[in-house]
């Protein structure tokens, strides 16, 4: 899955490792070259020649092998974490925690959130066709970011399995995270009163009330939040992320 066009986000992480490897190679060869210079009389000219030889050897022969080793042992391509779940399930909160975590690790990432982007793209409604068209648009935006070397942390209800599969097929290194929270708990958490309005008929085609939510068939991760705090739930995501990125 790796390609030369998808190596932007981990350069800062690999840069530290490469500098360390180069320093170790330098040290390994500096000792025998310095000893040789001493045996030959400690002449400054000999020392200079030794250091130049060391520079050439470390950078042209040995150092690249460390670079290749780092690239082979790390997923050096942008990724997409797509959080899906009912309104009020906690997907936005968990996506925010995920975004903040990977940014602290030195990765480049962008945050895409359903509520925020709905305010920017108001031309689509909430019918099945409009939902899928809107999410395909979001997937296209995510693809633009990943093709520029930026990872994407997205949170959308994205209620239909077919739509989510289309998104997964269009993106590389895609990870679907199902935030699985029961409907009654989502209603209890609803500070905006959206569920209550939907049950009164004031909001039409509201997911979970008069529009379906199809649970993911094979998500990368299922996070159940009913009996856990956001930080406790995030630990499951962090563990998965650490394995993915080899932290």
CATH superfamily of 80-245: P-loop containing nucleotide triphosphate hydrolases (3.40.50.300)
Instruction: With cut-offs at 50, 70 and 90, classify the pLDDT of residue 76.
Output: low
Q: Is 158 a known active-site residue? A: yes
Enumerate the β-bridge partners of residue 130.
none
**How high is the pLDDT of residue 140?**
94
Three-class secondary structure assignment of 152-188:
EEEECCCCCHHHHHHHHHHCCCEEEEEEECCHHHHHH
In this predicted structure, what is the pLDDT of residue 7?
A: 29
Q: What distance in Å separates the CA atoms of residue 73 and residue 78, rounded to the nearest whole number?
A: 15
Low-confidence winner among 2-6, 100-104, 169-173 (lowest mean pLDDT) = 2-6
Q: What is the pLDDT of residues 111-140, one digit of tens each?
A: 999 888 877 776 676 788 888 888 999 999
CB 175 within 8 A of CB 82: yes
pTM to 2 decimal places: 0.69
Looking at residue 17, what is its pLDDT?
Answer: 41
Summarised one tens digit per residue, pLDDT across range 184-201 is 999 999 988 999 999 999
Q: Over pLDDT 90: what percentage of the chain? A: 56
Write down the domain spans for the chain: 4-72, 80-245
For residue 74, pLDDT over 80 is answered with no
Residue 229: pLDDT above 90? yes
Average pLDDT for the chain:
77
Q: Quick: pLDDT tens for 5-59.
A: 232 222 223 333 433 444 444 445 445 544 544 444 454 554 444 444 444 444 4
The one catalytic residue in 23, 158, 170, 239 is 158
How would DSSP label each residue in the chain? ---GGG-STTHHHHHHHHHHHHHHHHHHHHHHHHHHHHHTT--HHHHHHHHHHHHHHIIIIIHHHHHHHHHHTS--S--EEEEE--TTSSHHHHHHHHHHHHHHTT--EEEEEHHHHHHH--S--SSHHHHHHHHHHHHHHHHHHHHTT-EEEEE-----HHHHHHHHHHSSSEEEEEEE--HHHHHHH-TT-HHHHHHTTSSSS-BTTTB-----SS-SEEEE-TTS-HHHHHHHHHHHHHHHHT-
């Amino acid at each position: 899955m790796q390609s030369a066009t998808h190596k932007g986000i981990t350069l800062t992480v690999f840069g530290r490792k490469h500098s360390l490897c180069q320093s170790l190679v330098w040290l390994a060869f500096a000792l025998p070259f310095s000893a040789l210079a001493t045996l030959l009389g400690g002449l400054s000219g000999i020392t200079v020649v030794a250091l130049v030889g060391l520079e050439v050897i470390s950078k042209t022969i040995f150092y690249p092998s460390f670079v290749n080793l780092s690239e082979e042992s790390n997923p050096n391509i942008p990724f997409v974490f797509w959080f899906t779940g009912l309104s009020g399930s906690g997907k936005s909160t968990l996506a925010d925690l995920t975004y903040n975590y990977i940014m602290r690790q030195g990765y480049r990432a962008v945050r895409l959130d359903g509520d925020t982007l709905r305010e920017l793209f108001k031309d689509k409604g909430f019918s099945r066709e409009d939902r899928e068209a809107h999410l395909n648009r979001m997937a296209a935006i995510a693809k633009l970011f990943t093709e520029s070397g930026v990872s994407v942390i997205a949170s959308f209800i994205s209620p239909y399995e077919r739509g989510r599969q289309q998104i997964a097929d269009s993106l590389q290194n895609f990870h679907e995270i199902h935030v699985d929270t029961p409907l009654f708990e989502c209603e209890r958490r609803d500070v905006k009163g959206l569920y209550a309005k939907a049950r009164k008929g004031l909001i039409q085609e509201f997911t979970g009330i008069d529009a379906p939510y199809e649970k993911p068939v094979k998500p990368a991760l299922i996070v159940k939040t009913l009996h856990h705090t956001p930080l406790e739930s995030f630990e499951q995501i962090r563990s998965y992320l650490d394995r993915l990125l080899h932290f």
